[in-house]
Structure 1
Amino acid sequence: MTRHDLDVLASDRERSDAEERLRAAVGSGRLPLADLAGRLDEVHASRTRGALEQACRGLPRPGPRDSLVVDRPADSRGLVVGVFGGFVRKGPWVVPPRMTVWSMWGGGKIDLTEARFSEQDTEIRAVALWGGTRIVVPEDIEVEVRGLGLFGVFDRRAARRIGRPGTPRVVIKGLALFGAVVTRGKG
């Protein structure tokens, strides 16, 4: 925020957002419960945006889906295999920093749209041998695709660069041999 923005009078909506930010910080363990009442008093007494920022001092700014990089260990092993069968990983989960996905005579889907990341940079190594893997990515992360399709397809259409500091980056690389690794946006 610029100096001018800090002097602008705060709206009821901004106060409500600050309250939610404090409650989320208590829920995630960033702010002790004993500090919540005092900080909420500061929010209710705030007249300006600067005073609201002071009440939320030391807390990360929320993004479009809150914090995408979390201080929790990964929920999933770093290896997912679908041989003569399939796999699905979706919903809320914490992605490991390095993950290998094998599809052989089968297929699977990795859905990152509700996921959080254990590190800023995540590498997914996808191998499809006579099989297929679909990776669904949200719009608010950077995606780099560096795979090779040999008698197969390694789709690069969902690759994008956002250029905002703090945006998680997922690098998808690997091999599709007589198979496919398809990366798509949600929808």
Structure 2
Amino acid sequence: MTEHPSPAEQSPSAPDTLASEEDRERAVERVRAAAADGRLPLGELDDRLGRVHSARTLGELAVATRGLPEPGPRDCLVVDRPPTSRFALGMFGGFHRDGEWVVPSRFTAWSMWGGGRLDLTEARFAAQETVIRAVALWGGTGIVVPDDIDVEVRGLGLFGVFRRRGARKPGRPGAPRVVIKGLALFGAVVAKPPRK
């Protein structure tokens, strides 16, 4: 008589199934989110992350994330809602976009003899890929980009600065992609991580 594997053994989510890099990334995000929410003491963070990175199977990942909540609403970054605004201008003054706002697939920011700040920390996106055109003429624009999105900065600093502060990290799998491009003439456009 031939033995047939049980449904648990056939299922790709069985505990003995080998974990993929994507499975580990999801587990890392779950651990980090729990630490950021104050659910996981910082003293346990390194231990949990170490267990996630060394996990070979889905069962080991489940043990490493035991007791932690599933990812929350921040994981739903691309939404089917109209954009909040498409343009920002700081001329002899400034502009500020922050909080939970919806970023369109194309956004333009001008800073002329003034400044501005775009904060994407709590933003949602109308498309999987967003292009932010930033122009700073004798002014400056700061763009705060969270770690869970993929960001590419490619612009020209002519007697100015157009750059990303900090190391470039890939966003989590399936995260929205933001491309920041434009010109800084006697000014600055700087993408930077949120303050810790």
TM-score normalised to the size of structure 2? 0.62
Contact conserved, 2:90 with 2:112, CA < 8 A, in 1?
yes
Using the TM superposition, give the Cα deviation of residue 159 of structure 1 relative to its aligned residue in structure 2, in angstroms.
Answer: 6.5
Tell me the residue number matched to 1:27.
Answer: none
Using the TM superposition, give the Cα deviation of residue 153 of structure 1 relative to its aligned residue in structure 2, in angstroms.
Answer: 0.5
The alignment status of 1:2 with 2:16, answered yes or no, reads no
Contact conserved, 2:148 with 2:172, CA < 8 A, in 1?
no
Tell me the residue number matched to 2:151.
Answer: 143
Using the TM superposition, give the Cα deviation of residue 149 of structure 1 relative to its aligned residue in structure 2, in angstroms.
Answer: 0.3
Tell me the residue number matched to 1:73.
Answer: 82
Pick closer, same or farther for the CA change 1:159–1:101 going to 2, 3 Å: farther
Compute the RMSD of aligned alpha carbons. 2.3
The alignment status of 1:115 with 2:123, answered yes or no, reads yes
Tell me the residue number matched to 1:99.
Answer: 107
Contact conserved, 1:144 with 1:159, CA < 8 A, in 2?
no
Written as runs of structure 1 = structure 2, the 5 A alignment for 1:1-187 is 2-5=12-15, 62=71, 65-76=74-85, 78-158=86-166, 160-162=168-170, 164-187=172-195
Contact conserved, 1:143 with 1:159, CA < 8 A, in 2?
no
Contact conserved, 2:141 with 2:189, CA < 8 A, in 1?
yes
Deviations 1:103-139 (CA, angstroms, capped at 9, x unpaired): 0000010000000001000000000000000000111
Percent of aligned positions that are identical: 69
Contact conserved, 2:147 with 2:169, CA < 8 A, in 1?
no
Alignment coverage as a number of residue pairs: 133
Cα distance in 2 between the residues matched to 1:4 and 1:120? 31
Cα distance in 1 between the residues matched to 2:75 and 2:107? 23
Using the TM superposition, give the Cα deviation of residue 3 of structure 1 relative to its aligned residue in structure 2, in angstroms.
Answer: 3.3
TM-score normalised to the size of structure 1? 0.65
Q: Structure 2 regions of 5+ residues with no counterpart?
A: 1-10, 18-69
Question: Partner letter of residue 159 of structure 2?
Answer: F
Deviations 1:44-67 (CA, angstroms, capped at 9, x unpaired): xxxxxxxxxxxxxxxxx9568220
Using the TM superposition, give the Cα deviation of residue 166 of structure 1 relative to its aligned residue in structure 2, in angstroms.
Answer: 1.6
